[in-house]
């Protein structure tokens, strides 16, 4: 039976107010990182808005070109925050991706990765590990700590320089319950959300964060049942049905804690977005909203909730005497409004010189699935970020999104810039 208009555009209709707010002034063209590279109207919020309106008016259909144009956006929200009408077109883009997936389905291999692997954290981890072993056997390693990831992910990453898969995953390194050491009073009990990157690629970072929290009187629970935040699935690919399965699992995994701490800006934002995009029943809406209130970015938690004194931020040995700059992940700065807390932490570290980067909140071009589909474009956006880093003369660029970190590592390596990319928590002892 043919779908009604309401069914065909079910998700877009939920965000019709955002769609209607655009007055076509074109101000977003100055801020959109994709438009700045491509210089074509369908790249920018105004053009995408017109395209989606055309779909609703029956002038366009769910063609391949339409789907590709929807993917051609980093969801950085630079258009929204600089829009005189505050039109939230990225909301509409995500909703339009969901309607397009309902109409067209997901292509191979993304259907396998999104529907079968990402919702199964253990299976996904072992597939990645297996692929990494095969790569070790069949492909030469590059020098140093950076080499191409497994062929499986390399195919998705189009040959980008990516840190290798860790020999042990975080979930194999830490118990479920991590208590403060003897002599340190427990002030609080939190859950730790370990995103896929921290679990599989940067487990030492996860372990370091748990130890840091323990030393500062926080008991840390790491539920084994937690999984991927779902960002690539529901925000990137528009697969809301699978996103709901993943959201339900994460909400349940953390139901017994008051706070859920995340070290990844994209994960933090995605966990908070469940209510906006995935709540299809009043029960889910209530559960997702409650969950969103518990989710905190690590720097926000340390500064605003735990209220650590400056003396708690001691330098890690490798950052003493170094010049550090900060890259604002879009999901932290524009999506969540967190910009002051990380800067406060870095500026509190004795022996570290902080230097502000020009356009520190400009998108690095990673944006998960976007950089998989459009690696060349993603590299062009990253090169502008690398120029900004270079202008600071910093030894270290810090951030708090493993996705941005991969992009920055790739950018500095390609541009032969002698700058180390670190997570903000790695700056601390
Ligand atoms: S999205 Fe905002 S800035 Fe862009 S054309 Fe519409 S009203 Fe203007
Ligand atoms: S979210 Fe970012 S990339 Fe997408 S249209 Fe807006 S400014 Fe451009």
pLDDT at 151: 38
State which ligand 2 atom lies nearest to the alpha carbon of 45.
5
Do 213 and 154 fall within a single domain? no
Same domain, 151 and 248: no
Between strands 396-399 and 162-163, the pairing is: unpaired
Q: For position 380, what pLDDT does the model report? A: 95
CA of 239 to the centre of ligand 1 (A): 27
Same domain, 285 and 362: no
- Give residue-wise pLDDT tens across range 182-237: 999 999 999 999 999 999 889 999 999 999 999 999 999 999 999 999 999 999 99
Ligand 1 neighbourhood includes 48 CB (under 6 angstroms): no
Q: Please tell me whether residues 74 and 189 are part of one structural domain.
A: no
What CATH number did the domain enclosing 397 receive?
A: 3.40.50.1860
Ligand nearest to the CA of 18: 1
The number of the ligand nearest the C-alpha atom of 21 reads: 1
pTM for the full predicted model:
0.91
**Residue bearing the bigger pLDDT, 218 or 137:** 218
* The token pair that represents 187 in the structure block: 């002030």
Q: Which two tokens stand for residue 207?
A: 């372990």
Say which range, 141-150, 286-295, 298-307, 363-372, has the weakest mean pLDDT. 141-150
Rounded-to-integer distance, Cα 226 and Cα 119, Å: 10
Looking at the structure, do residues 274 and 213 belong to the same domain, yes or no? yes
Domain enclosing residue 114, as ranges: 110-163
Q: Which long-range contacts (CB under 8 A, 24 or more apart) does 318-322 make?
A: 319/349, 319/351, 319/352, 319/396, 319/422, 319/427, 320/351, 320/352, 321/351, 321/352, 322/352, 322/353, 322/395, 322/396
Could you tell me the CATH number of the domain that includes residue 71? 1.10.1060.10
Q: What is the CATH number of the domain that holds 243?
A: 1.20.1050
Closest listed residue to residue 95, CA positions, set 200, 203, 211, 243: 243
User: Ligand 2 mean position to 155 CA, how many Å?
Assistant: 25
Residue 143: its pLDDT value, please? 37
| Residue 52 CB–ligand 1 contact under 6 Å | no
Q: Distance, CA 79 to ligand 1 centroid (Å)?
A: 7
Residue ending a domain, among 245, 275, 305, is 305
Q: Are residues 158 and 175 in the same domain?
A: no
Average pLDDT over residues 143-152: 37
Give the closest ligand to the alpha carbon of residue 40: 2
Do both 275 and 174 map to the same domain? Answer: yes
Average pLDDT over residues 135-147: 43
- Read off the pLDDT of residues 76-92 as tens digits, 9 standing for 90 and up: 999 999 999 999 999 99
pLDDT tens for 17-63 read 999 999 999 999 999 999 999 999 999 999 999 999 999 999 999 89
Residue 39 pLDDT: 96
Report the pLDDT value the prediction gives residue 138, as an integer from 0 to 100.
46
Give the full edge-to-edge strand order of the sheet including 420-423.
Answer: 353-354, 323-326, 396-399, 420-423
Helix, strand, or coil here: 190? Answer: strand
Residue 92 beta carbon below 6 angstroms from any ligand 1 atom: no
Whether 260 and 350 map to the same domain: the answer is no
- Shared domain for 339 and 294, answered yes or no, is no
Task: Please check whether residues 245 and 137 belong to one and the same domain.
Answer: no
- Verify that 251 and 201 share a domain, yes or no: yes
Q: Examine the pLDDT at 132 and tell me if it is beyond 80.
A: no
Task: From 58, 84, 104, give the residue that closes a domain.
Answer: 104
| Digit-coded pLDDT (tens) for 333-346 | 999 999 999 999 99
Cα 24 to middle of ligand 1, angstroms: 5
Probe residue for ligand 2, chosen from 90, 368, 377 as the CB with the greatest number of ligand atoms within 8 Å: 90
Do 353 and 411 fall into the same domain?
A: yes
Number of structural domains (the chain) is 4
Q: In the predicted model, is pLDDT for residue 296 greater than 50?
A: yes
């Amino acid at each position: 039976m043919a779908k009604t208009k309401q069914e065909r555009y079910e998700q877009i209709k939920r965000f019709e107010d955002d769609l209607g707010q655009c007055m076509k002034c074109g101000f977003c063209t100055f801020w959109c990182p994709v438009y700045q590279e491509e210089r074509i109207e369908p790249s920018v919020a105004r053009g995408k808005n017109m395209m989606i309106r055309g779909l609703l008016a029956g002038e366009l259909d769910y063609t391949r070109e339409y789907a590709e144009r929807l993917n051609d956006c980093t969801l950085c929200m630079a258009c929204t925050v600089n829009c005189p009408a505050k039109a939230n077109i990225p909301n509409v883009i995500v909703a339009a991706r969901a309607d397009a997936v309902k109409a067209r389905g997901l292509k191979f291999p993304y259907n396998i990765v999104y529907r079968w692997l990402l919702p199964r954290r253990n299976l996904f981890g072992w597939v990645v590990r297996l692929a990494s072993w095969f790569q070790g056997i069949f492909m030469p390693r590059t020098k140093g700590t950076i080499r191409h990831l497994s062929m499986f992910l390399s195919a998705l990453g189009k040959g980008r320089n990516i840190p290798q898969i860790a020999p042990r995953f975080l979930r194999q390194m830490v118990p479920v319950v991590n208590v403060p050491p003897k002599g340190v009073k427990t002030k609080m009990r939190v859950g730790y959300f370990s995103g896929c990157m921290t679990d599989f690629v940067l487990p030492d970072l996860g372990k370091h964060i748990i130890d840091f929290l323990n030393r500062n009187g926080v008991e840390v629970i790491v539920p084994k049942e937690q999984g991927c935040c779902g960002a690539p699935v529901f925000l990137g690919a528009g697969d809301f049905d699978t996103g709901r399965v993943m959201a339900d699992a994460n909400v349940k995994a953390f139901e017994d804690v008051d706070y859920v701490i995340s070290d990844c800006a994209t994960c933090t934002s995605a966990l908070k977005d469940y209510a906006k995009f995935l709540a299809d029943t009043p029960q889910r809406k209530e559960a997702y909203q409650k969950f969103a209130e518990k989710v905190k970015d690590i720097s926000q938690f340390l500064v605003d909730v735990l209220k650590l004194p400056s003396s708690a931020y001691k330098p890690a040995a490798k950052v003493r005497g170094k010049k550090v700059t900060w890259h604002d992940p879009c999901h932290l700065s524009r999506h969540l409004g967190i910009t002051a807390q990380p800067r406060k932490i870095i500026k509190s570290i004795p022996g570290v010189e902080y230097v502000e980067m020009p356009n520190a909140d400009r998108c690095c071009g990673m944006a998960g699935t976007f950089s998989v589909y459009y690696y060349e474009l993603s590299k062009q956006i990253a090169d502008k970020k690398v120029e900004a880093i270079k202008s600071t003369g910093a030894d270290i660029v810090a951030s708090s999104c493993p996705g941005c970190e991969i992009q920055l590592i790739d950018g500095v390596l390609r541009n032969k810039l002698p700058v180390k990319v670190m997570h903000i928590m790695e700056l601390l002892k």
